[in-house]
Amino acid sequence: MNAIVTGTEYEILAAEYLSQANLQLLHRNFRCKLGEIDIIANDGLYLIFIEVRYRQHDKFGNAAESITLAKQQKIVRTAKFYLQTHIWAQQLNCRFDVIAISNSIKSPQIEWIKDAFHA
């Protein structure tokens, strides 16, 4: 299975998980010239920019640890662009979360890290 198909499957799994947690999903795979945000959601208090990461095993670090400072900065720049182009969103507090998934799609282990990094 190629990485794009695998990534899409885990992003769908993450979106379902977040929906069950009563988040309103606004966008999946928001893209602009600055980058991509896997999921943008609202929990009633925050506009949440969510990075989804999958690791089959943690031999080279776990899923959350794979989000480098450079990747965080790219997500923040993309979120700022989103806020500039979606005026209604500027009124909300923002947060950056991570959904870290390990194991197989048949028996996934999901960790939701709220406020994983800051702008």
State residue 6's pLDDT score: 65
Which residues form the domain of 23? 3-117
Q: Which amino acid is at 25?
A: L
State residue 20's pLDDT score: 96
State residue 58's pLDDT score: 61
> pTM of this prediction?
0.89
What DSSP designation does 59 have?
B
State residue 29's pLDDT score: 95
CATH number of domain containing 30? 3.40.1350.10
By C-alpha distance, which of 30, 15, 2 is closest to 112?
Answer: 15
Could you tell me whether strands 46-55 and 93-102 are parallel, antiparallel, or unpaired per DSSP bridges?
A: parallel
3-class SS of residue 47: strand
3-class SS of residue 111: strand
* Rounded Cα gap, residues 47 and 57, in angstroms: 30
Question: To 10 degrees, the CA torsion angle through 4, 10, 16, 22?
Answer: -110
State residue 21's pLDDT score: 96
* Rounded Cα gap, residues 12 and 90, in angstroms: 27
**What residue ranges of the chain have pLDDT lower than 50?**
none
Domain count, the chain: 1
